[in-house]
Amino acid sequence: MNKTVGLKLFLMMVLEFFIWGAWLPLIYNYLPSLGFTTQEQSWILNAFPIAAIIGIFFSNQFADRNFAAEKFLGFSHLAGGLAMLGLAFTRSFWPFFSLMMIHCLLYVPTISIVNSIAFAQMKDAQKEFGRVRTGGTIGWILAAWPFTFILVDWDKVQAANPQGLRDWLYTVLGSGLTGEALQAGTRWTYIVAAIASLALAAFSLALPHTPPKPAMTGADKLAWLEAMRLLRHPFVLILWLVTLVDAAVLYSYFNWTARFLGEIGIPGNWIMPVMSIGQVAEILTMLVLGAFLKRFGWRATMIIGILGHVARFAVFAYLPQFQGVIVAINILHGICYAFFFATVYIFVDEVFPKDVRASAQGLFNMMILGLGALVANTVCPVLIQKTFTANGVTDFRGLFLVPLTAAAIAAVALGMFFRPPEKEKPSLSEASAPAH
């Protein structure tokens, strides 16, 4: 792949995931501060997964066969960025929900689109995708760390009157906002995300042209339907279902971790950086992913990714008193994401027919970003309410054992039933090609 093109794809991934990483981690604590009911919060949180489900039937169809991918990307981030900007200044439910829905409907399909743009430029996806996708990981990290300075109690800093740069920096980093002030300051996450979205809209003009792909002769006119038909292959179906479970486990982490870290004493301005430690590890993991896949294959790589969740939730559940261990264990997030979800994207690109690959990516995104998140966002608030004790302390051990068990079962199911075809056998594309 051309180095200039590779750099553009890398920067595309940086901006794409910066947007999501800027607002997602703190939204779970922000919504209650706006006075929204539990039901209203669920509707807002589920805007993203609902958009992912709708995307497979609508947006990805357009991206596959009707629009140049880079133009679709640019329009989506222009309109979606403006909607995100509006969220920073909205405190009423219906306007907030409507703007979030607009943003999500436009943003979610772009996760598949950036993958399609990247894969279209690659000669060896197993070798090259990891390097390009690392940009997304860096983007998520970059979205987290500025908030160590944004979510700061500046009155406390001024009162401390630090002398010199070193003392000033030490005071700032140790003066994170708490309580209602932290919740109010969280609106800056939407402003930062909006700026990144508008920047990507402009940058899309410089991306490689990726034309729409007409349907193959004899293929169904609906790309998503053609992709759904491939679920008749048992190994694709089992991977699709395991992806649902693993996605629900992943979103359980996002639902509960910010609150958990706050309760064990992590300052408010450090919660997002602590949660971004996993993305730092993900950079290294993505760089070795290609070699690992070639050495160990699809199944072993994915199982290791799922077991990463088991280990992380076990530490959360049984060692909350060791703050340093809790912080360090977030490094496993890199393995959880790269070894399972990134591997799924590469697998889909290799086995699905070319003209429905964007919709095939959307098919799995429907689980990763849609149904899996929908399950977590529906179940997690209920579980956390039921484990809330009279003295205001949450039983996080009981909570974390739920996704821990689900991840362990998913790993076993994948090991027993996921049997993809050997490389020397016909590809799924060939097996699914119409007879002549």
The two counts, helices (H) then strands (E), for the chain are 23, 0
Alpha-carbon distances, residue 21 vs 34, 91, 161, 319 (angstroms): 21, 21, 33, 27
What is the amino acid identity at position 331? I
Lowest mean pLDDT among 93-97, 110-114, 346-350, 384-388: 384-388
- For residue 388, pLDDT over 90 is answered with no
Residue 428 lies in a domain: no
119 neighbors 272 (Cβ within 8 angstroms) = no
Give which of 242, 244, 139 is closest to 200, Cα–Cα. 139
pLDDT band at 215; cut points 50, 70, 90? low
Contact by Cβ (8 Å): 1, 129:
no
In a domain, 258, yes or no: yes
| pLDDT of 307 | 96
Residue 431 lies in a domain: no
What's the CA gap between 271 and 265, in Å, rounded?
10
Are residues 258 and 29 in contact, defined by beta-carbon separation less than 8 angstroms? Answer: yes
How far is the C-alpha of 392 from the C-alpha of 144, rounded, in Å? 28
CB 362 within 8 A of CB 60: yes
Residue 434 counted as domain residue: no
Assess if residue 296 is contained within a domain.
yes
Is the full-model pTM beyond 0.85?
Answer: no
CB proximity list for 97: less than 8 A, separation 6 or greater:
40, 43, 44, 47
Query: Based on the structure, what is the number of domains in the chain?
Result: 1
Q: Establish if 170 belongs to a structural domain.
A: no
> Which band of pLDDT confidence, cut at 50, 70 and 90, is reported for residue 125?
confident
Tokens of 52: 């992912």
Q: pLDDT per residue over 301-343, tens digit each?
A: 999 999 999 999 999 999 999 999 999 999 998 889 889 998 9
CB-count exposure of residue 294 (10 Å: 0-12, 13-18, 19+): exposed
In a domain, 61, yes or no: yes
Q: How far apart are CA 430 and CA 426, in angstroms?
A: 6
**pLDDT, tens digit, 9 for 90 and up, residues 279-305:** 788 778 877 888 888 888 899 999 999
pLDDT grade for 179, boundaries at 50, 70 and 90: confident
pLDDT in tens, 40-93: 888 999 999 898 788 766 655 566 667 788 998 999 999 999 999 999 999 999
Rounded to whole angstroms, the Cα distance separating 109 from 57 reads 11
Residue 435's CB is within 10 A of a number of other CB atoms, namely: 4
In a domain, 194, yes or no: yes
- CATH code for the domain of 262: 1.20.1250.20
- Is the Cβ–Cβ distance between 5 and 70 less than 8 Å? no
Q: Comparing C-alpha atoms, which of 375, 306, 358 is closest to residue 49? A: 375
Q: How far apart are CA 176 and CA 149, in angstroms?
A: 8
How large is the average pLDDT for residues 94-99?
97
Contact in structure between 286 and 131 (CB atoms under 8 Å): yes
Q: Which domain holds residue 227?
A: 3-151+186-421
Distance set, CA 376 to CA 119, 244, 247, 248 (Å): 30, 10, 8, 5
Per-residue pLDDT at 182: 79
